[in-house]
Amino acid sequence: MRFCWIKKRTLWLWVLRGSLTAACIAMLVFIFSNSLKTGEESAEQSLAVVDTVQKVAAVVAPNSTIATATGSAYERLHMIVRSVAHFAEFALLGALLLWCAASYTLEKEGLLISLPLALAVPMIDETLQYFVANRGAEWKDVCIDMAGGVMGIMFALLTVILGLHIYKKRKKMCAEATRVVKKE
């Protein structure tokens, strides 16, 4: 019986590792494919998101500054939406990197692998944009992206620590229950 449990556990672990690795690769492809879009394509994409945000705001709060933004207020909204999108995509990347590394090792190496990657990808991302038509590299974007990556790693680290705590507590409870059953 124990042998079957070990096989199932190993299979589950390899499925988890493969899924997280694939998710990291997919996220990197998404980030770098957005970097390779021309300035016009990028602006068109982000303006569509801003228009969607305005439509949702018009339903939820019709008189809000978001729903009624025009001119310079619309430009500020556009900048905020782009910054939030940058932060969010790199936060997701940071979380995926740590979860992926933690699936291979629960030692400090997981953090030592994911943190440099989460800090290097924004620099590579902005460097790519420098060579694309009507795009440019901005330090502000690098800082927002790095902050997102670090926050994602911190969130993932918290979930890993919490998960390990729950796992150890349940394992201890199962061991105690087994001892009580054996005594009877």
Residue 9 has pLDDT above 80, yes or no: no
Q: Which of 39-53, 105-119, 169-183 bottoms out in mean pLDDT, i.e. has the lowest?
A: 169-183
The CA-atom distances, in angstroms, between 116 and each of 12, 93, 153, 171, 172 are 28, 12, 11, 33, 35
pTM of the predicted model as reported, rounded to 2 decimal places: 0.85
Q: Which of 33-37, 71-75, 106-110, 147-151 bottoms out in mean pLDDT, i.e. has the lowest?
A: 106-110
pLDDT value at position 3? 40
pLDDT value at position 98? 95
Long-range contacts: 114-119, Cβ < 8 Å, 24+?
114/153, 115/150, 115/153, 118/90, 118/93, 118/94, 118/146, 118/149, 118/150, 118/152, 118/153, 119/146, 119/149, 119/150
The mean of the pLDDT values for the chain is: 88
Question: Regarding predicted confidence, which is higher, 2 or 159?
Answer: 159
Residue 1 has pLDDT above 60, yes or no: no
pLDDT value at position 18? 95
Tens of pLDDT, residues 33-58: 999 999 899 989 999 999 999 999 99
Tens of pLDDT, residues 144-165: 999 999 999 999 999 999 988 8
Question: Regarding predicted confidence, which is higher, 9 or 80?
Answer: 80
